[in-house]
Homo-oligomer: A and B are copies of this chain.
Amino acid sequence: MDLDTIRTFVVAADAGQFQEAAAELAVTQQAVSKRIAALERSLGVRLFTRTARGAELTIDGQAFLPHARELLRVAERAVASVHTGRRPLRVDVLASRSAQSGLMRGFHRAHPEIELDVVMLFDIETAVAALRSGAIDASFRAVAVPGRPLPEDIESVRVLDESLQLLTGPAHALAGARSVTVSQLAGHRIWMPGIVPGTEWAAYYADLVAEFGLTIEATGPNFGSDALLDTIADTPALATFMGEQTRLVWPADHGLRRIPVTDPTPVYPHSLLWHRDNPHPALATLRAHLATAAAGHGAAGTWTPGWVLPR
């Protein structure tokens, strides 16, 4: 199916005749006739009834028309999404089910008129490069990693502290606990496949390990969260960390437990990053929205790495 054909259908439906549609599309009447005939053949229904003074929509044609218009609208938005200049606000998040996506959903609910595109970059270095090049407009990252200060043309504001929770299977030694302290975790194996050395999240967990003497294993390839949850559910000796706001997709609950961690509660500090000179009008709206929506975090009894800037 070809969008030119769809457009031809819409123009012909609006014009009420093929002749005029052909003129508008700068092709011959015969070409319009053939396009419509091909579309009708591929759909298996008649879209127009041909009359002596034009062509009018059949019932099927009337039903199809709004869908055809929608198709053209979506196509236009798709093209605009990669068109430099007045494109949707492009935001980099950690993962599609992370707390950051929750923030973006909240922003979308508050400003449904603002077009958004969400991408997921590798690490803060990639994100900063993308911000500077204009490839993205904003990024959620943990900032101020030692040895990797933000360039001065990149600004940031801390928008959300997310508590970490322990995720275990039903047979894990701590599965029955209402909550666990960090010191209780020493000696337990915590498995976090997919941690890549050199990234800002690796730095976060490295600090967590160093400060509290935890055992975090990053071994094995990351086969996705499904495989991770599968293994956690079936392996009594393994647990993992997960943000409290992470939305798990777990068809039948395999007995997974989400257990709060205390004394102190490790929190992951999400900051919004943007380029000082980014002119996208929606960026200011996003910043304003997050400024209001992000209150009430950073409580006592929590832990972040020492390099995290105060709020």
| Cα distance, A239 to B179, chains bound together (Å) | 75
Give the CA-CA distance A88 to B83 in the complex, in Å.
Answer: 34
Cβ < 8 Å to B, chain A residues 96-136: 117-121, 130, 135-136
A63 interfacial contact with B, CB 8 Å? yes
Q: CB of A206 within 8 A of chain B?
A: no
A2-B2, A67-B77, A75-B71 given; A82·B62 CB < 8 A: no
Q: Are A71 and B74 in contact (CB under 8 A)?
A: yes
For residue A3, CB closer than 8 A to chain B, the reply is: yes
> Within 8 Å CB of A82, what residues of B?
43-45, 47, 60, 63-64
Per-residue interface assignment for chain A, residues 33 to 59, with 1 indicating a CB less than 8 Å from any chain B CB and 0 otherwise? 000000000011101000000000001
Classify chain A: how many residues form its interface, as a range.
35 or more
| A78 touches B (CB below 8 Å) | yes
Give the CA-CA distance A1 to B74 in the complex, in Å.
12
Chain B: CB-nearest residue to A67: B78
User: Would A119 and B3 count as touching, CB distance under 8 A?
Assistant: no
Q: Kindly list chain B residues whose C-beta atoms are within 8 Å of the C-beta of A79.
A: 1, 43
Q: A3, A44, A63, A120 — which one has the most chain B CB atoms within 10 A of its CB? A: A63
In the bound complex, residues from chain B placing their C-beta under 8 Å from that of A59 are 90, 119, 121, 130, 135-136
In the complex, A15 has a CB within 8 A of chain B: no
A152 within 8 A of B: no
> Assembly of this chain: how many copies?
2
**Could you pull out 11 A-B pairs where Cβ atoms are within 8 angstroms?**
A1-B2, A1-B3, A2-B2, A44-B83, A47-B82, A60-B135, A62-B117, A64-B78, A66-B117, A67-B77, A70-B78
| A81 interface residue (CB < 8 Å to B) | yes
Please classify the interface of chain A as helix (H, G, I), strand (E, B), loop, or mixed, using the class held by over half of its residues.
helix
| Min CB gap A15→B, angstroms | 15
Closest to A61 in B: B82
Name which residue of chain B comes closest to A63, CB basis. B117
Q: A2-B3, A3-B3, A82-B43 are in contact. Are A90 and B74 (CB under 8 A)?
A: no
Is A68 at the interface (CB under 8 A from chain B)?
yes
* Residue among B60, B75, B81 making CB contact with A63, cutoff 8 Å: B81
Question: A62 contacts B119, CB within 8 Å?
Answer: yes
Scan A157-178; emit 1 where CB is below 8 A from any B CB, else 0.
0000000000000000000000
Taking each of A59, A64, A90, which has the highest tally of chain B beta carbons within 10 Å of its own beta carbon?
A59
Q: Which residues of B contact A120 (CB under 8 A)?
A: 62
Q: Which of A44, A70, A119, A121 has the most CB of B within 10 A?
A: A119
Taking CB atoms and an 8 Å cut-off, the chain A residues in 207-264 that contact chain B are: none
Bound together, the chains give a CA A62 to CA B43 distance in angstroms of 31
- Check if B74 sits within 8 Å of A67, measured CB to CB: yes
A131 to chain B, nearest CB (A): 11
Residue of chain B at shortest CB distance from A72: B74
Tell me how far the C-beta of A271 lies from the nearest C-beta in chain B, rounded to whole angstroms.
20
Cβ contacts under 8 Å, A118 to chain B: 66
